Structure 1
Amino acid sequence: MSKTSSKPIHVAVGNLNIDITMYVPRLPMPDESVFAEEIMIGPGGSASNYSVAVTYYGHIAYLIASTSLNQLIDSILEKLNSIGVYTRFIKRVEEKPGIVNVIVIPGGEKIMVKYRGANELLSPNDVPRQLLEEATIVHMASIPPTIASEIAMRATGLGSLVSYDPGAYALYDKEKIVSILDNINILFLNRSEARSITGGKVENLLKYGTDLIVIKKGPGGAYVLQHGGTVYHGVSKPIRPPIDSTGAGDAFDAFFNAAYIDYKDPGKALSYALAAGALKVMCRGSILCWDKQLFSKQLNETIVEEIKEPENWILED
């Protein structure tokens, strides 16, 4: 529980974007055009997607981000507020908004072109101390490890759990990420990021102070490595065909953290995370389209088991 709220409080720190998503029958060749079958414009960014999913789970989410004063952002914030995400601590600056062009092909696979814009102006000081004091968990998503390090130290000092999904920074700044792991309780990586940080040896992940390391493998499910303890593997069989994988990892992170806070059980947290990620893939756009009944059905198609010894094949494709 948070210190004063009846519900756990998540502070999500990261990007707030305008996502422009086009659904095409196939990717074009160089100098070729294809016609989009549908287009969506809406909120995006890993921390934003996380906040939405946390709110749907039933916890409280505060989004911390640096975004533009551009009027296009007004409608994005209205959408997030209507869902229940708290946005009053978001910083707005005289800068172009973060924009992501997402191209999705049949089956849900995607390519993305990102313009960071106002996201570049995020600072550790944008996270109010009083919010850190109230936070149950601080989740940092796709932010540089230099910023994550300062926020993690402040949050840990005030008694909050800290989770970090570094995204591409795990590939480009792995030494710095490794140096801050003692202040991270839960680390989320995909398989290529995990290979980058470990040099391909899974045992290297377990020598730091991180409590839980979660490795996401897309259709191959996910693993949780518990520091000095059990390894879990889980998969969730989709109950509907995939449409759009954008934001699935953010929904996964949100439900993992929320369920771990509620149940203190990494295996159960993994099952909730896998079901949420699978549910997200069923709908268009980057934020989770919530349906409690569908989630329950997806949870029933989710299997998590314990593994006695971690092996390097965990990091393989």
Structure 2
Amino acid sequence: MRITAIGNANIDITLFLEEMPGYDEDILADDIIFGPGGSASNFAAASSHLGAESFLIACVGSDLFGEIFLKEMKMHNVSTEWIKRIKEERTGTVVVIQERGRQRRMITMRGANSRLGTLDFSEFLPLLRSSDVVHISSVYEDVVSGVLKVYRGISWDPGIKIVRKMGRRIIDYLSGVKRLFMNIKEAELVFKGEDEVKKISEEVDVVLKMGSRGARAYVEGRVYEQKAVEAKAVDTTGAGDVFDAAYTIALLRGMDVNSSLKLANAAASIKIARKGTQSGLPSWEEALDVAAKFYGGI
């Protein structure tokens, strides 16, 4: 199985706090984790941990964070051959603030990620054509259109920032998409209702992540749904990317849609129970074991 991900390359600095400080207040963090991030990077690393040969097309700066990012991705057995170094840019950086019992907050500096849309994606055609899945996530419209000019049939997870920016124009790109991943809030911003999703799924698989409610897939006009695997949330950053990767790998391994949803829910539950964007990635065996125990089989 060969997976290629296209998107952001970041260094994530995650702070774990009891509560946010007030103005001019100094507090102590419970913990801090520093490491690679970015939705496509998370997908690539997760795919590797789940057993795929994994590649990443992205841009980093010629700085210390860029060096760290490349080293860390290699440690996840993700090929860095196709990652571009941009001399005049800094590597993208995200500060993640994780308050106990609350939703995370993130502050992003795009840096070299802003150059991804300027690349000529025909340069990557040998890699794209040799891949079983090409996955694009959380990138601006110029990147999506640039890729679709040279390659069709992508897997796409646009992410909330892009969905808010594009809205229903997401639909205009679906002729070049094989599988669309979204969370339920994003889907409500793009589609007029479930009937429209079912109609679109006759041509494009639509997979919805619903958090504590589980996940739902619309495939060839049919609807599949599996409840979420129970887990104590410690760090939710990257869980959606792990879900996407696990669902994708499960299908490539020959699982049906329902089993793939179970496996993906299990993998995401493992991730949210561990600290760090990429330090808590599950293996295939771990995800399979959790899914089998929770669902009573897979």
Q: TM-score, normalised by structure 2?
A: 0.91
- Would you say how many aligned residue pairs link Structure 1 and Structure 2? 290
Letter in 2 for 1:39: I
Query: Partner of 2:226 in structure 1?
Result: 234
Query: Is 1:204 aligned to residue 196 of structure 2?
Result: yes
Determine the C-alpha separation between the residues in 2 that align with 1:129 and 1:24: 44
- Asked if the contact 2:70/2:80 (under 8 Å) is kept, the reply is yes
Query: Partner of 1:71 in structure 2?
Result: 64
Secondary structure in structure 2 of the residue aligned to 1:20 = strand
Query: Partner of 2:110 in structure 1?
Result: 116
1:275/1:108 CA distance change after superposition, 3 Å: farther
Query: Partner of 2:125 in structure 1?
Result: 129
| Structure 1 alignment gaps of length 5 or more | 1-7, 305-317
Query: Is 1:96 aligned to residue 65 of structure 2?
Result: no
Determine the C-alpha separation between the residues in 1 that align with 2:24 and 2:110: 26
Query: Partner of 1:290 in structure 2?
Result: 282
Query: Is 1:251 aligned to residue 242 of structure 2?
Result: yes
What do the CA deviations read for 1:189-220 (whole angstroms, capped 9, x no partner)? 11111000013x12122333643101111111
Determine the C-alpha separation between the residues in 2 that align with 1:100 and 1:275: 26
Which one is further off, 114-123 or 27-36?
Answer: 27-36
Secondary structure in structure 1 of the residue aligned to 2:274 = coil
Secondary structure in structure 2 of the residue aligned to 1:236 = coil
Determine the C-alpha separation between the residues in 2 that align with 1:150 and 1:130: 16
Determine the C-alpha separation between the residues in 2 that align with 1:10 and 1:152: 17
- The counterpart of 2:30, out of the listed 17, 37, 47, is 37
Identity of aligned residues (%): 30
Determine the C-alpha separation between the residues in 1 that align with 2:132 and 2:284: 24
Query: Partner of 2:48 in structure 1?
Result: 55
The equivalences for 1:165-180 within 5 A come to 165-167=157-159, 168-180=161-173
1:134/1:294 CA distance change after superposition, 3 Å: closer
Determine the C-alpha separation between the residues in 1 that align with 2:295 and 2:23: 42
Q: TM-score, normalised by structure 1?
A: 0.85
Determine the C-alpha separation between the residues in 1 that align with 2:169 and 2:284: 39
- The counterpart of 1:268, out of the listed 241, 250, 259, is 259
| Structure 2 alignment gaps of length 5 or more | none
Q: CA deviation at 1:259?
A: 1.0
Determine the C-alpha separation between the residues in 1 that align with 2:52 and 2:270: 18
Q: Root-mean-square deviation (CA), in Å?
A: 2.0
- Asked if the contact 1:190/1:215 (under 8 Å) is kept, the reply is yes
- Asked if the contact 1:67/1:98 (under 8 Å) is kept, the reply is yes
Letter in 2 for 1:52: A
Determine the C-alpha separation between the residues in 1 that align with 2:228 and 2:290: 7
- Asked if the contact 1:145/1:166 (under 8 Å) is kept, the reply is no
- The counterpart of 1:149, out of the listed 140, 145, 155, is 145
Determine the C-alpha separation between the residues in 2 that align with 1:23 and 1:231: 38
- Asked if the contact 2:174/2:204 (under 8 Å) is kept, the reply is no
- Asked if the contact 1:213/1:224 (under 8 Å) is kept, the reply is yes
Determine the C-alpha separation between the residues in 2 that align with 1:98 and 1:303: 39
1:19/1:78 CA distance change after superposition, 3 Å: same
